Amino acid sequence: MVNSITTHTGIVAPIDRVNVDTDMIIPKQFLKSIKRTGFGQNLFDELRYLDVGYPEQNCSSRPLNMKFPLNQERYEHASILLTRKNFGCGSSREHAPWALEDYGFKVLIAPSFADIFYNNCFKNGILPITLVDSEVEFLFEKLYSTENFSLCIDLVNQSVKSNFGEEFEFKFIIDSFYKDCLIQGLDEIDLTLKDREAIKKFEKQREKICPWIFGAIK
Amino acid sequence: MAGQTLYDKLWSEHLVKNRDDGSSLLYIDRHILHEVTSPQAFEGLRLAKRKPWRTDTNIATTDHNISTDINERKGGVSGIPDKTSQIQVKTLNDNCTLFGIREFQMNDPGQGIVHVMGPELGATMPGMTVVCGDSHTATHGAIGCLAHGIGTSEVEHVLATQCLITKKMKNMRILVDGELAFGVTPKDVILSIIGHIGTAGGTGYAIEFAGQVFEEMSIEGRMTVCNMAIEAGARVGMVAVDDKTIEYCSNREFGPNKSQIDYAIKSWRNLRSDKDAIFDKEVTLSADDMEPQVTWGTSPEMVCSVTDKIPNPKSFESVDRQKSYDSALKYMNLRPGILMTEISIDKVFIGSCTNSRIEDLREAAEVVKGRQVASSIKQALVVPGSQMVKSQAEREGLDKIFKRSGLEWREPGCSMCLAMNSDKLNPGEHCASTSNRNFEGRQGNGGRTHLMSPSMAAAAAIFGRIADVRQITQGNQ
């Protein structure tokens, strides 16, 4: 069961680069965990800290890279991440959205996301919003010129709105399936198992057509 | 009505139902599990008191975390130097025992990297839907599977329901006609394609690789190509079934038995796009002018021919590209305008799910045979993709060729492709690598990766720098 989202207002932090890969979001040494939680302190580990991190480390005394936005005071309570195209490319590791969620991000905004990462976000209560290049550019400009820049996200009406100051509103497109997923926070396995009979029927048919698929691996 | 693409056929053959919310339930024939992306999925099953839908569709192995050092391997799980890795490997063993899933443990004869092991055991066969919590699952598309990577929540979902909730992708065909020149390999073909369409060029698409080049390519070569579809942004890469596929897939341990094989082959013959099939996007490239490829940056699209110079970021129109190329060159400590062959190499890695099969090892061995690794090379690893590949290579004496030339012959695993074990780069080191990702820190914090083919990596080992393998192998002809 994932946390549901309908609206969200929060501070925006920038990761101003294209093709941010999931290795960058959560480096490999942290993938050795057998848990789903606790990845937030190692989110963007190689960009965020000046030393090399290791699993289950106390990160509070590690040297910080103060050039990295998440270490700067103005972005301290950010819950919306603004970034560039093809965010989340590379490895399918769900540890990437786990780390973003654990850190406190609820919404990601970019011109495009990589397929597997995009899909993984919805399983973890994170809303990835795709806006066109010019809108993302506009938000970056606003973000850099406004202290405590925050945005209002409305998933029901599919809009990104200004929270204060100059008014603007951008509409975004989202597949109804993904939208429902987040709004209702459903258990997908329960939902699928409602079709148990249909799956069984299909499977029986498949066993007739391709018997070699079944029973060979013991 | 227009004909169907290979992807359309595989999709409709596995469609359980279209749901009211616009998603679809797709039946999954084969699910491959490994130690890194499965523990939380099994935990989820346990917490919800669920059982796997069925066990005989799943197959598991350990590959990402394990040591490739023979002495450490002999020590079994407790021989793994890192305690957290030990726990992860042991967790997979325990979960597979508990849930009744067939696992090839670390030192079992069938063990290997998931995407090397699957096809060689016949666990993946043409026409199957194949998923695995690993983005390089597209590899199995080389034998006409609909195969792609999934996240851990989906691993749990497939375990519990044998289905995936998904949406149909769009169809893309990449046509490469012409003849590959001497010294140009499948790795060079896929790197050229990625250089051409970019790392997001295939996002949202299932790619079918078609044309003369792929028709003439071996099955293992096609695996190298499909493996890196994700580096072009596409979850799915595939090649139509032909006589080579059928020959490769007959007589595999978990494949059809004698009474099933004729019928199976008959059904596999249909696994190709209809002549009048329509693709949402078509890309056409010529093989004639492809050359050995090497990456210079931190994304697989930052690639050029070995004979080229490193491009100047300023020569590109897009500001995004200028910025990312600039930052990549800074990370790589390289400057525009220098020849690729001027780049010194510290370490060499021949392995990974992209290039660790027997043909890859033969290709590398041919280059190093009778030659010595340059004295400036700190480490040159050859890591076979599976126990079966290792045994075959040893039967052919390839291990001896590598060892005589000064390369290390290791035990099967993912190794330095993602450096989850002790095989890694130190900060600042340049690596000639046959793996699939040159991201910052991928092969070790601060490490600098140059992706290339096995023969090119072998040439780099001999010269101590990036080198045009054709200068060596021309003489071998």
Confirm whether pTM is higher than 0.90.
yes
Q: Is residue A199 part of a domain?
A: no
pLDDT above 80 (res A17) = yes
Q: Is residue A159 part of a domain?
A: yes
Cβ-nearest to B84 among A32, A112, A115: A32
**In chain B, which stretches have pLDDT less than 50?**
none
pLDDT tens, A103-123? Answer: 999 999 999 999 999 999 999
Chain B: closest CA distance from residue A213 (Å): 7
Residue A2 confidence (pLDDT): 64
Domain holding A15: CATH number? 3.20.19.10
pLDDT tens, A56-104? Answer: 899 999 999 999 999 999 999 999 999 999 999 999 999 999 999 999 9
Q: Assign A128 to helix, strand or coil.
A: strand
Find how far residue B27's CA is from the centre of its chain: 24
End-to-end CA distance of chain A: 32
User: Searching chain A, which residue's CA lies closest to the CA of residue B321?
Assistant: A18
Q: Is residue A147 part of a domain?
A: yes
- Report CB contact under 8 Å: A218, B48: no
DSSP codes joined into one string, B221-259: HHHHHHHGGGGGT-SEEE----HHHHHHHTT-TTS--HH
What average pLDDT does chain A have? Answer: 95
| Residue position matching structure tokens 């991190």 | A53
Q: Is residue A218 part of a domain?
A: no
Residue B186 confidence (pLDDT): 98
Q: Is residue A71 part of a domain?
A: yes
- B293-295 and B303-305: which strand pairing? antiparallel
| Residue position matching structure tokens 């390289």 | B334
End-to-end CA distance of chain B: 51
DSSP codes joined into one string, B265-292: HHHHTT-S--TTB--SEEEEEESTT---
The answer to whether A111 and A132 are in contact (CB under 8 A) is: yes
- Report CB contact under 8 Å: B65, A32: yes
The boundaries of the domain holding residue A59 are: 7-186
Q: What residues have CB less than 8 Å from A214, skipping those under 6 apart?
A: A206, A207, B54, B56, B57
Residue B475 confidence (pLDDT): 63
Which residue type does B153 have?
S
- Report CB contact under 8 Å: A19, B199: yes
Q: Assign A90 to helix, strand or coil.
A: coil
Q: Is residue A201 part of a domain?
A: no
* ipTM associated with this complex: 0.96
Phi-psi region of B397 (alpha: psi -120 to 50; beta: other; left: phi over 0): left
* CB contacts, 8 Å: A34 with chain B: 39-40, 43, 87-88, 91
Which DSSP state fits B308? Answer: S
> Considering its fold, how many domains does chain A have in total?
1
Residue B477 confidence (pLDDT): 52
Q: B310-337: buried (b, 16+ CB within 10 Å) or exposed (e) per residue?
A: bbebeeeeeeebebbbebbbeebebeee
Q: Is residue A192 part of a domain?
A: no
The answer to whether B51 and B45 are in contact (CB under 8 A) is: yes
Q: Give the separation between CA B192 and CA B220, rounded to whole angstroms.
A: 18
Cβ-nearest to B16 among A31, A177, A202: A202
Residue A185 confidence (pLDDT): 84
The answer to whether B384 and B359 are in contact (CB under 8 A) is: no
Chain A: closest CA distance from residue B153 (Å): 7
- Report CB contact under 8 Å: B162, A213: no
pLDDT tens, A150-203? Answer: 999 999 999 999 998 889 999 999 999 899 889 988 889 999 999 999 999 999
